[in-house]
Amino acid sequence: MTSVGLPHHYTGKVRDLYDVAHDRMLMVASDRISVFDVVLGDEVPDKGRALTALSTFWFEQTASIWPNHMVSSDPTDFPETAGPDVAGRAMLVRNAQPVRLECIARGYLFGSAWSEYEAAGTVCGARLPSGLRMAERLPEPIFTTTTKAPAGHDEALTDAQAAALVGDETFERCREAVLAIYGFGAEHANAQGLVLADTKLELGSVDGELVVIDELMTSDSSRYWAAEEHRVGVSPPSFDKQYVRDYYLKLGWDQRAPAPPLPAEVIEGTRARYVEGYEILTDQSFDEWYGAEN
Ligand SMILES: Nc1ncnc2c1ncn2[C@@H]1O[C@H](COP(=O)(O)OP(=O)(O)OP(=O)(O)O)[C@@H](O)[C@H]1O
Ligand SMILES: [Mg+2]
């Protein structure tokens, strides 16, 4: 773990949180990678920096659409005790009370949504038009939710179940936020030659205001496909964790910890995809992001 001279607050699968003040935290993205909700033994070099770089871009771009928790990713704004190791991978954020839902926007039918649709014609219990195919664009983007399980797999929720968990008003505000942000992200991605098939985000409340927290439209939390490689009916090559998932699916791992080690070329391929995703979406060079070794 990166050495950080701040009080430790929480460690998630990928991020570590540290207290900075009563209303501020430093959120540090590690190079850990989790697949099928299992944290792998291997790390992907530069992954934490790539995730923070891309989240920073999206938080800036979407701030006028919906407020978010980001204060700054510029290391000169961090407390000195944070130390030099966090540059590029850390973000100073406002402390929020997380809404206990994972919120997902889907513009295309893929992953667990495709599996449910194929079996039952529904996604999170809601019926969709019949005859849709894998990776097909949906008539309009849909909002779905899952539980935020502290350990293990997140479970799909129906709208009624989610609203019962967090309250009708919060649920509707989450839907509004997530669809607005996804609409913006999908349009921007499209202009850069990518399809944003789906994305997962978290919201939390800060002083009674519902804001986006955690990460935003990163390669960990989203499915990105090259628009020119997207074909309805097949699994498109992607700029995200699907590459690692596909490796394990081929290997036939039972998805229980510990995960088999990743070969060096899969680690390098994963690193390259995270960096390329950032560069394509932002038109920025990853070498110029904070914390690059010169
Ligand atoms: N501004 C914020 N205020 C409070 N908590 C936050 C904020 N931003 C993110 N978090 C929380 O920090 C954690 C980030 O950890 P990480 O992304 O590694 O976890 P995860 O894989 O999403 O799952 P889990 O939290 O269940 O381990 C999440 O639990 C998220 O809810
Ligand atoms: Mg998270």
Reported as a single tens digit per residue, the pLDDT across 205-256 is: 999 999 999 999 999 999 999 999 999 999 888 877 889 999 999 999 999 9
Biggest CA–CA distance in the chain, Å, is 57
In the reported structure, the alpha carbon of residue 132 is separated from the centroid of ligand 2 by a whole-number distance in angstroms of 30
Which candidate, 214, 210, 209, 217, places its Cα nearest to that of 184?
217
How is residue 5 written in tokens? 């001279």
* pLDDT-derived band at 2, boundaries 50, 70, 90: low
> Over 50: is that where the pLDDT of 39 sits?
yes
* Long-range contacts of 258-262, Cβ-Cβ distance < 8 Å, separation of 24 or more: 258/38, 258/41, 259/35, 259/38, 259/40, 259/41, 261/41, 261/42, 262/40, 262/42
Average pLDDT score, the chain: 95
Ligand 1: residue of 213, 220, 241 to mutate (most ligand atoms within 8 A of CB) is 213
Residue-by-residue DSSP string for 178-212: HHHHHHHHHHHHHHTTEEEEEEEEEEEEETTEEEE
Is beta strand 70-72 parallel, antiparallel or unpaired with respect to 90-94?
antiparallel
Rounded Cα–Cα distance for residues 73 and 93 (Å): 9
Q: How far is CA 182 from CA 50, 228, 229, in A?
A: 20, 20, 21
Nearest CA to ligand 1 atom 6: 214
Average pLDDT over residues 179-196: 98
In the reported structure, the alpha carbon of residue 14 is separated from the centroid of ligand 2 by a whole-number distance in angstroms of 7
The H or E element spanning position 101 is strand 101-108
* pLDDT-derived band at 177, boundaries 50, 70, 90: very high
Q: Which ligand is nearest to the CA of 221?
A: 2
> Over 70: is that where the pLDDT of 27 sits?
yes
Reported as a single tens digit per residue, the pLDDT across 72-90 is: 999 999 999 999 999 999 9
> Over 50: is that where the pLDDT of 294 sits?
no
Cis preceding-peptide flag for 67 (omega within 30 of 0): no
pLDDT value for 154: 84
Give the type of residue at 210.
L
Task: Tell how far CA 223 is from the center of its chain.
Answer: 9
pLDDT value for 8: 97
In the reported structure, the alpha carbon of residue 218 is separated from the centroid of ligand 1 by a whole-number distance in angstroms of 14
Rounded Cα–Cα distance for residues 173 and 50 (Å): 29
Helix (H, G, I), strand (E, B) or coil at 149: coil
Average pLDDT over residues 103-124: 96
Measured in residues, the chain has a length of 294
Query: Is-contact 274 50, C-beta < 8 A?
Result: yes
Q: Which ligand is nearest to the CA of 12?
A: 1
Which candidate, 207, 38, 11, 173, places its Cα nearest to that of 101?
173
Model pTM?
0.96
% the chain with pLDDT above 70 = 98
Ligand 1: residue of 11, 15, 28, 211 to mutate (most ligand atoms within 8 A of CB) is 15
pLDDT value for 284: 98
Residues forming a β-bridge with 98: 204
Q: Kindly tell me the sign of the dihedral angle through the C-alpha atoms of 231, 237, 241, 243.
A: positive
